[in-house]
Amino acid sequence: MEAENGLDEGTAVHWHGIRLENMMDGVPVLTQELIQPGARMTYSFVPPDSGTFWYHSHSISHEQVARGIMGPLIVEDDLPPDVDHNITVLLSDWRM
What digits encode the pLDDT tens for the residues 30-61? 889 999 999 999 999 999 999 899 999 999 98
Give the pTM. Answer: 0.81
For the domain bounded by 2-75, which CATH number is listed?
A: 2.60.40.420
Beta bridge partners of 55: 15, 71
**Band of pLDDT at residue 80, cut at 50, 70 and 90:** confident
CB 57 within 8 A of CB 26: no
